[in-house]
Structure 1
Amino acid sequence: MSKVEEFEELRPLLFSIAYRILGGVGEAEDAVQETWLRFAGSATRPTSTKAFLSATVTRISIDVLRSARVRREAYVGPWFPEPLLSDPYQDPARSVELADSVSMAALLLLERLSPLERAVFVLREVFDFGFPEIAATVGRKEAACRQLAARARRHMDAGRPRFEADRAEREELAGRFFEAFRKGDVDGLRELLAADVELVGDGGGKAPLFARLVAGPEHVARLLGALAPQYVRVGVAVEPRQINGQPGAVFRDRDGKVLSILVLDVLDGQVQMIRSVMNPDKLGHLGPVADAWALKHEVNQARRTRG
């Protein structure tokens, strides 16, 4: 098998490791590309290509994360990972771990770990790497890696997000949610929201968004119920999709350009958390991005006309 064939076979795994460490699609793709350049440029073939490439992409991702954390500290407003529509790496034996580990809630928990803790946790808990491999990857002794893994696991377990276990039930509730949203049905939305539901958005200071976190079923239902008719007037379409392994939707303008995404955390038959991403820098990998400020101006004009 050629180097290109070996690499392409492992590309889904490499991207999935990098994305979980970095929380960014573009950064993960860059890390994978840099991994290929190092592999292609090496004069010898490693004993285990999988081990070599996994270690390389992990080290690159750790370095990138260390610099990215400084930028994220200066980020305007809440920071969310770049939305991922589908995880390229599939392993039926670890499907639950893979799905839960790529959720926005889990990735936000990972953000609280140090880069080394995050890398060790991802390799061990998500991809089931052995400690000898992990130690060689991060340049630490096995005992130190076990300590890093245990510390990371304790932190993750303390805040581990809980989701509706039955995917069919999640999808059914999400379908009802987005149907009520399209209709501007405030009562219908309110019935689906948990008592402590929160709606929060990531605009990065580059897109119009909610002025603050919106909490409670009454406030969230009224905001969403008022937003839907405005979207309808200017031709915004709601496209239900799985986003980061959870039910959600992509919002597109009348030209099909991406305006935002919305992701739902569902538990016990209710929507517990709603996250929106409108920062255009985080949407480009989904397709051409809409001008959210121009759309807001159009919405305001339509509202005044109906006035």
Structure 2
Amino acid sequence: MGAGAGVRTARAAQFEELRPLLFSIAYRLLGSVAEAEDAVQDTWLRYEAAGTTPASPKAYLSAAVTRISIDVLRSARVRREEYVGQWLPEPLLDDPYGDPARAAELADSVSTAALLLLERLSPLERAVFVLRDVFGFDFPEIASAVGRSQAACRQLAVRARRHMDEGRPRFDADRWEREQLTARFIDALREGDVDGLRALLAADVQVVGDGGGKAPQIARVVSGIDNVARLLAVSFPPMFRIDVTAEPHTVNGQPGAVFRDRDGRVLVIWSLDILDGRVQTINSVNNPDKLAHLGPVGDSWSVYREWNATRRT
């Protein structure tokens, strides 16, 4: 093996070791699995073509994926302004990056609520916050990644942290209790149990739906315990009667569910914001473009027609 081939092999090994971190940075910046994967691939191409091997591959690659993601984020803002209906992040079932010392921060930072708060920040604020508060990078590394001075990055971090702290929800921390609540919630859905649903919903609960204009929706936004309980109790028993299944699953670090058609194809992904033992928000994504990374996607229009016929009879 020549020296050049040896360098490429070493770089490939370094890159693969850091890939989970790079994806996790890019996803938090972009809110899109597909765009994050593309950013990671572009980062590899730059690393492969680099003339010299950096002293710190982690710092180099993290900076590269951050810069690429910032560029994508700036162009994505125009597309999101033109998005049909409510915009929610692409569901993430499993975050590939794990750090036991920062497990709670990582789970909270990838929640749908946190990603929607990040959307309110400027691209630079978002990048500085993610690198500093989520992944613990120091300011010299952050300054190199975003092309600003350390002093400017500290100011960006303060502004971003203030905006995030003002709106950041505090979710229930006990994972077992949240999983039990989610299981009871799905059981009440199957039964169309209005009282059972009301017992699990917050007074100001919201259902937020993201179909992107490409899938049928019961409603884009529904608020209030009575409205939401009635909507769910009427809508879901007919869905289960046509063999739609609901599987509890962690989604974006929070409890949620994966709904599939009778052939096992993904139809809808829910993530649940749970606080004080009650469901605060149901985030529902059935835009097929946002589900494609999860495997075969079902024909939600066909399921909707069958559901409607079943509901009427």
Q: Does residue 186 of the first structure (1) align with residue 186 of the second (2)?
A: no
Aligned partners of 1:98, 1:300: CA distance in 2, in Å?
A: 40
TM-score where L is the length of structure 1? 0.97
Q: Does residue 156 of the first structure (1) align with residue 167 of the second (2)?
A: no
2:183 aligned residue (157, 175, 182): 175
Aligned partners of 2:115, 2:214: CA distance in 1, in Å?
A: 22
Map of 2:282 onto structure 1? 274
Displacement of 1:301 in angstroms is: 2.3
Aligned partners of 2:180, 2:243: CA distance in 1, in Å?
A: 25
Aligned partners of 1:88, 1:190: CA distance in 2, in Å?
A: 35
Q: Does residue 45 of the first structure (1) align with residue 53 of the second (2)?
A: yes
The DSSP-based 3-state class of the residue aligned with 1:248 is strand
The DSSP-based 3-state class of the residue aligned with 1:180 is helix
1:58 aligned residue (40, 63, 66): 66
Displacement of 1:126 in angstroms is: 0.2
Q: Deviations over 1:234-289 (max 9, x none)?
A: 11000110000110000000011110011111111111111100100100011111
Map of 1:127 onto structure 2? 135
> For structure 1, which segment, 83-92 or 161-170, has the greater mean C-alpha deviation from structure 2 after superposition?
161-170
Does the 8 A contact of 1:251 with 1:261 survive in 2? yes
Alignment of 1:1-307 (within 5 A): 2-304=10-312, 306=313
Could you tell me which runs of 5 or more consecutive residues in structure 2 were left unpaired when the two chains were aligned: 1-8
The DSSP-based 3-state class of the residue aligned with 1:156 is helix
CA 212–46 in structure 1, closer or farther in 2 if over 3 Å, else same: closer
CA 7–40 in structure 1, closer or farther in 2 if over 3 Å, else same: same
| Number of equivalenced pairs | 305
The DSSP-based 3-state class of the residue aligned with 1:2 is helix
CA 204–44 in structure 1, closer or farther in 2 if over 3 Å, else same: same
Displacement of 1:302 in angstroms is: 2.4
Q: Deviations over 1:30-63 (max 9, x none)?
A: 0000000111111210010000000000000000
Does the 8 A contact of 2:86 with 2:220 survive in 1? no
Aligned partners of 2:221, 2:87: CA distance in 1, in Å?
A: 13
CA 194–303 in structure 1, closer or farther in 2 if over 3 Å, else same: closer
Residue type at the aligned position of 2:187: E
Residue type at the aligned position of 1:270: R
The DSSP-based 3-state class of the residue aligned with 2:267 is strand
Aligned partners of 1:303, 1:136: CA distance in 2, in Å?
A: 58
Aligned partners of 2:190, 2:146: CA distance in 1, in Å?
A: 48
Aligned partners of 1:222, 1:80: CA distance in 2, in Å?
A: 24
Displacement of 1:182 in angstroms is: 1.6
Percent identity, please.
70
Displacement of 1:212 in angstroms is: 4.0
Displacement of 1:170 in angstroms is: 1.1
Aligned partners of 2:310, 2:215: CA distance in 1, in Å?
A: 19
Aligned partners of 1:169, 1:214: CA distance in 2, in Å?
A: 26
Does the 8 A contact of 1:200 with 1:210 survive in 2? no
Aligned partners of 1:185, 1:34: CA distance in 2, in Å?
A: 49
> For structure 1, which segment, 24-33 or 262-271, has the greater mean C-alpha deviation from structure 2 after superposition?
262-271
Does the 8 A contact of 1:196 with 1:272 survive in 2? yes
Aligned partners of 1:143, 1:68: CA distance in 2, in Å?
A: 28
Displacement of 1:211 in angstroms is: 3.3
Aligned partners of 1:31, 1:303: CA distance in 2, in Å?
A: 44
Aligned partners of 2:147, 2:223: CA distance in 1, in Å?
A: 44
The DSSP-based 3-state class of the residue aligned with 1:209 is coil
Aligned partners of 2:31, 2:208: CA distance in 1, in Å?
A: 18
Aligned partners of 1:30, 1:222: CA distance in 2, in Å?
A: 41
Aligned partners of 1:119, 1:162: CA distance in 2, in Å?
A: 22
Aligned partners of 2:275, 2:307: CA distance in 1, in Å?
A: 33
Cα RMSD for the two superposed structures:
1.0
Residue type at the aligned position of 1:27: E
The DSSP-based 3-state class of the residue aligned with 2:215 is coil
Does the 8 A contact of 2:89 with 2:112 survive in 1? yes
